[in-house]
């Protein structure tokens, strides 16, 4: 996603239940705090990906926070005190659509994207009660460490091969195609609604004239 999707991202977050806001941010985020978060998103550095419904509403959003150029930190799984490049992943799914693997799909996409960027590790910071997020991480081989009420999940990333790069490129093209088709469908729905509204108004005018 890009800068033009900022309002849709905010609308998605505002629709989250109080419980899901808490799980996504680790605290009971207010409308004002979520607005500041969305306004601070850096689309030039990070990657934001989403899943849209047929009405072009975002029903799931992931944030892949990428490291700055040259930035490195200690990475679990690398020998000794070796440092590497790590990205952080966060995701939110519309409350009534949880359990449909939307978060898992976005996580898989983030893994491929991080590998294409040449990163060594994908990191998740979550509350221990966020069982769905930790389950997704474990399912993909991440190492989870619990620290009281919080947990961290680390997934070591192998270098991207040609298959990974091609799959990532094809996936991006299909996503653009899917969005375009949904946008065209929504435009037709809007046009038909206008036509129907005009017909109703014309009938009403004829009835008033006849009276």
pLDDT digits (tens, 9 = 90+) for 126-156: 999 999 999 999 999 999 999 889 999 999 9
> Do 209 and 197 share a structural domain?
yes
> Do 18 and 91 share a structural domain?
yes
- Of the residues 160, 176, 195, which one is the last residue of a structural domain? 160
> Do 153 and 126 share a structural domain?
yes
Residue, of 182 and 117, whose pLDDT is higher: 117
- Of the residues 117, 143, 160, which one is the last residue of a structural domain? 160
> Do 168 and 152 share a structural domain?
no
pLDDT computed for residue 78 by the predictor: 46
> Do 82 and 19 share a structural domain?
yes
> Do 195 and 143 share a structural domain?
no
Where residue 65 sits, what CATH number does that domain have? Answer: 3.40.630.30
pLDDT computed for residue 185 by the predictor: 64
With a cut of 60, say whether residue 99 has pLDDT above it.
yes
| Average pLDDT estimate for 113-120 | 92
pLDDT computed for residue 160 by the predictor: 78
> Do 152 and 170 share a structural domain?
no
For helices 131-139 and 102-116, angle between their N-to-C axes, nearest 10 degrees: 50
> Do 142 and 77 share a structural domain?
yes
Residue, of 161 and 29, whose pLDDT is higher: 29
> Do 180 and 93 share a structural domain?
no
- Which residue from 171, 35, 42, 21 is spatially nearest to 93, judged by alpha carbons? 21
| Average pLDDT estimate for 97-104 | 91
- Which residue from 57, 65, 64, 129 is spatially nearest to 97, judged by alpha carbons? 57
- Which residue from 48, 46, 35, 31 is spatially nearest to 7, judged by alpha carbons? 35
Token pair listed for 176: 């653009």
Q: Which residues pair with 143 in a beta bridge?
A: 154
**Residue 38 C-beta-side C-alpha neighbours within 13 Å:** 22
How far apart are the C-alpha atoms of 198 and 192, rounded to whole Å?
A: 10
pLDDT computed for residue 169 by the predictor: 73
The count of domains in the chain is: 2
How far apart are the C-alpha atoms of 180 and 199, rounded to whole Å?
A: 29
pLDDT computed for residue 125 by the predictor: 92
pLDDT computed for residue 56 by the predictor: 83
pLDDT computed for residue 47 by the predictor: 94
Q: Which domain holds residue 177?
A: 164-211
pLDDT computed for residue 79 by the predictor: 44
pLDDT computed for residue 191 by the predictor: 65
Rg (CA), the chain: 22
> Do 58 and 148 share a structural domain?
yes
> Do 196 and 116 share a structural domain?
no
| Average pLDDT estimate for 78-98 | 77
């Amino acid at each position: 996603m890009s800068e033009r999707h900022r309002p849709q991202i905010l609308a998605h977050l505002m629709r989250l239940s109080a419980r899901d806001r808490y799980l996504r941010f680790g605290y009971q985020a207010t409308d004002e705090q979520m607005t500041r978060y969305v306004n601070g998103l850096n689309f030039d550095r990070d990657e934001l990906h989403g899943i849209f419904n047929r009405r072009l509403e975002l029903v799931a959003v992931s944030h892949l926070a990428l490291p700055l150029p040259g930035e490195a930190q200690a990475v679990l799984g690398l020998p000794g005190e070796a440092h590497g490049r790590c990205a952080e992943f966060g995701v939110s799914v519309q409350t009534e659509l949880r359990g449909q693997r939307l978060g898992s799909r976005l996580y898989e996409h983030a893994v491929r994207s991080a590998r294409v960027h040449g990163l060594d590790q994908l990191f998740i910071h979550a509350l221990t009660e966020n069982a769905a997020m930790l389950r997704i991480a474990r399912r993909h081989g991440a190492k989870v460490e619990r620290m009281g009420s919080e947990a961290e999940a680390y997934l070591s990333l192998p270098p991207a091969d040609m298959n990974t790069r091609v799959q990532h490129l094809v996936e991006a093209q299909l996503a653009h195609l899917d969005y375009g088709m949904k946008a065209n469908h929504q435009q037709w729905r809007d046009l038909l609604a206008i036509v129907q509204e005009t017909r109703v108004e014309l009938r009403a005018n004829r009835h008033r004239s006849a009276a």
